[in-house]
Amino acid sequence: VQTHPPWAPAPLPRGRGAAAGRGQRWRRGVGRRRRAARSSVPIPHTARTQHGPALRPPTRTAPEEEEEEEGAGPPPWPRSRLSPLGLGAEDEGGGSPEGSGTGQGRDRTGRGCHPQRCPPPAGAIRGQAARCGHPLLRAEPSDRLGQPASPGEQDAADRQELETGQEVRQLHREFLRAGSNVLQTFTFYASEDKLENRGNYVAEKITCQKVNEAACDIAKEVATEGDALVAGGVSQTPSYLSCKDKAEVKAVFRKQLEVFMKKNVDFLIAEYFEHVEEAVWAVEVLKESGKPVAATMCIGPEGDMHGVPPGQCAVQLVKAGASIVGVNCHFDAETCLQTVKLMKEGLQAAKLKAHLMSQPLAFHTPDCGKQGFIDLPEFPFALEPRIVSRWDVQKYARKAYDLGIRYIGGCCGFEPYHIRAIAEELAPERGFLPEASEKHGSWGNSLSMHTKPWVRARARKEYWENLKPASGRPYCPSMSKPDGWGVTKGAKELMQQKEATTEQQLKELFQKQKF
């Protein structure tokens, strides 16, 4: 969420009465898969601020409602196939229980990635959603129920997804309807070195260029449905972790930048960096475009993995040319806001100015170590008990705004209803509500229609704002002990390779791991 910077056009308000879309009805036997993707809600000015006069978003006509045939089978449901990490910044996303998104249901096959060729990497719960080794979202193709696709079918499906991308479009639309005014291209970890790292075959069979081009085309197409901005993003690289020199690492960023320039995205984001040195290199490359650049690091109050404090990280990024600085991923909202506050103080001490940005996890992580949630034993496939509620997100949005942050969004774990919570909390500042709020009562006021009187009594802000939710897990601890192996750039375990991880390499890691 950014308090509209001078270089960005005012976003249009979401139309009321817009179509809820296919799959909104609940069908017996058809559950709703959760996806989550990073999204952000830039806030236009409604009053005069230090950045300029008040802006008032114009009205627009809502799209025609798409009718759904009775008795039709369940619509295809996108399986998250984002870039190979795990919204960081980059997640398995889906509509909210109230249908804040537009397409609920299951995918045609009910299955996802090939279990051997696409092991979901770290950060796999965010829509930014559950991440696997593929750069795009799609369902696994197969005409044989219960059997994985053959390599030939898999390759054909990859090519088809690049050409159609319906599932990816749907994911973008859900966040657009929820209130996002920035759609970020699904290019997280889509650098060439990552797409050929540890057995990943995407760079060879699809190519880095095609993946990034398709991501830009899809984001730009959906953005026009709501006049949202499109941001092209790059992230940290295996090349840097493997101690490649500055020129080699910059060359990796430059390949993605060439696509972003060709597709003419609105601005650029360098995100998810554990080392400020590499983040600075990324900003320097992106500034070659002449477009505005935002830079976020996945660090906490302790600073980057080399010990550089958050304030100094912010100073270096702004001096490199970043117009917006902040943090994303690895930590929860409370920790991220602490870190951004330190960045703000560092900039003030250096007499530098920049917009502030925050995209935290949708998980509670008070027990994280320096490297964040990837050190938690639950990462990435048992993080659900830590998920934040929509009310947690509303509190986060208000605290972020009060801190002076004007680019407010979310990373791993964030679903459309979380982004909607940001938009609803900041509706007074933005001047309008998102389309997805049409059928969603503020602070639970729709519970006034409930049949049970004790549930009707919960139809108020005070109840949900002060609730301390129980986990329902009496034998589970409230905190975990992070693994914290203490490895960073240059460590043997972080040296990357094109070949798939061997059995011997895995055995060595298994022996080191403690339960």
CATH assignment of the domain containing 207: 3.20.20.330
Return the pLDDT at 151: 60
Structure tokens at 189: 């970890």
Average pLDDT over residues 242-264: 96
Cβ within 8 Å of residue 187, ≥6 positions away: 83, 135, 211, 212, 215, 216, 232, 233, 234, 256
Does residue 139 register a pLDDT over 50? Answer: no
Q: Are 89 and 329 in contact (CB under 8 A)?
A: yes
Q: Is 336 annotated as a binding residue?
A: no
Q: What's the pTM? A: 0.69
Q: Are 137 and 82 in contact (CB under 8 A)?
A: yes
Q: How confident is the model at residue 160 (pLDDT cuts 50, 70, 90)?
A: low
User: Could you tell me if residue 219 is inside a domain?
Assistant: yes
Q: How confident is the model at residue 231 (pLDDT cuts 50, 70, 90)?
A: very high
Rounded-to-integer distance, Cα 390 and Cα 413, Å: 12
Q: How confident is the model at residue 161 (pLDDT cuts 50, 70, 90)?
A: low
Rounded-to-integer distance, Cα 195 and Cα 206, Å: 10
Cβ within 8 Å of residue 335, ≥6 positions away: 300, 301, 360, 365, 366, 368
371: containing domain: 128-134+156-440
Three-state DSSP at 101 gives coil
Q: E strands, 336-398, where? A: 355-359
Higher pLDDT, 198 or 3: 198
Q: E strands, 360-457, where? A: 407-410
Rounded-to-integer distance, Cα 345 and Cα 311, Å: 6
User: Could you tell me if residue 179 is inside a domain?
Assistant: yes
Tokens 């750039």 appear where? 489
What is the total count of domains within the chain? 1
- Least confidently predicted of 208-212, 314-318, 338-342: 208-212
User: Could you tell me if residue 296 is inside a domain?
Assistant: yes
Three-state DSSP at 332 gives coil
Q: Is 476 annotated as a binding residue?
A: no
Quote the mean pLDDT of the chain: 75
Q: Are 66 and 385 in contact (CB under 8 A)?
A: no
Average pLDDT over residues 307-317: 98
Q: How confident is the model at residue 493 (pLDDT cuts 50, 70, 90)?
A: low
User: Could you tell me if residue 37 is inside a domain?
Assistant: no
- Over residues 436-488, the pLDDT tens digits come to 999 888 888 889 989 998 898 999 999 998 999 888 888 887 877 777 666 67
Cβ within 8 Å of residue 451, ≥6 positions away: none
Return the pLDDT at 408: 98
Return the pLDDT at 50: 33
User: Could you tell me if residue 280 is inside a domain?
Assistant: yes
Return the pLDDT at 153: 65
Count CB atoms within 10 A of the CB of residue 310.
Answer: 27
Does residue 106 register a pLDDT over 50? Answer: no
User: Could you tell me if residue 54 is inside a domain?
Assistant: no
User: Could you tell me if residue 62 is inside a domain?
Assistant: no
Q: Are 356 and 326 in contact (CB under 8 A)?
A: yes
User: Could you tell me if residue 85 is inside a domain?
Assistant: no
Q: Is 216 annotated as a binding residue?
A: no
Three-state DSSP at 144 gives coil
Rounded-to-integer distance, Cα 318 and Cα 315, Å: 5
- Least confidently predicted of 46-60, 242-256, 361-375: 46-60
